[in-house]
Structure formats: C-alpha cells, structure tokens
Amino acid sequence: MEAVQAAGLTKSIGVSNYLPSHLVATLKTAKVKPVCNQIELHPYLQRRELLEFHKQNDIATTAYGPLTAATKAKPGPLDDYVEKLTKKYAVSENEIYLRWCIDQDIVPVTTSGKEQRLSDYLRAMTFKLTPKEVKEMNELGQQKHYRGFWNDKVQFLGSIFFFSLGEMLTRYPVC
C-alpha cells in the first residue's frame, strides 16, 4: 500500500478491523501511518479502549454498521430514549445514530440503495446532540452488547484498504 501511495495512486492508507495490537505492530513497521481504522461501532458496541488508542495516535475512527441499534439490535435499552430524541429534533432514529457518531468525532459509513434515504441522512448534519444526550446514549448502550457483523469469526486480522478521495467523489458524487 505504501508503494501504491508513493506512486500517487492513492492519497491515504487506512486499515479495517484492526485491534490495538495490530495497530501497534503497524505503527512500528510502517513508513506511512494509517489515517483511519474502519471498525464496527454503534451504541451497543462502543469499543472505548480502541477509540482512545485511535485518539492517542491520531488515527481517525470510521464506523461501519452505525445504524445497527435501529436495524438489527431491537429491542434494546436505547429504544425509548432515541424515540424521545427523534421527536425533539424532528429526525429519524437513523439520523440520531449517525449524529451520535459525528458528535464523538467518529466518521459513520452507511449504505442504501434508496436515494431518498441517503438524502435523508444529510439531516444528521442539521442538528447536534448535547453532551448530556451523547452520555445518556453511551450509558444506555452499555447495557446491551451486540455485534452485527463477524459473529462467526473468533479472530480476524483485519484488512487494509486504500482510497483516493478524488476517485471516490468521481464514482460516488455527494451532490
């Protein structure tokens, strides 16, 4: 990946599903530090130790499955509280979960085949949860553990990915 970047074919190198031990080994041997680690993250899988490691090492956290609490893990201790927040902010529960990530400096990644749904997700940028609301969601989320992906894997080493922002924007225009 470093050769790909040196050749100008990508701007950044990121990793996926790395644990702190994987990141330590990478940071010791890599010439180019990964800019991000993409991990499953949502209120029922908060991974505080890993997030702290990311912050200490200036590695962005990218969350896949940020909507898991709404799409796969119901019922749960967050349901009633998130419903109150949807009414307060006049947004969907998915937008609350996206905002929960954003307000903690986590980059949420989600997909949809429905253009309207993707457009709706932009509403997550029109409001902010208060620090108290984020804290309450964190506390409620810690009452349940749920992994939406990789359930059949005992251990995995992670994967490396790379991207060119220009290429991504060309293929997947935001506007």
Cα 31 to chain center, whole Å?
Answer: 25
Domain boundaries, the chain: 2-171
111 phi and psi, to 5 degrees?
-135, 160
Q: How far apart are CA 170 and CA 8, in angstroms?
A: 17
Tell me which architecture the domain covering 2-171 has in CATH. Alpha-Beta Barrel (3.20)
pTM of the predicted model as reported, rounded to 2 decimal places: 0.83
Average pLDDT along the chain: 88
pLDDT tier, 101 (very low <50, low <70, confident <90, very high otherwise): very high
Query: pLDDT of 106-125, one tens digit each?
Result: 999 998 888 888 888 999 99
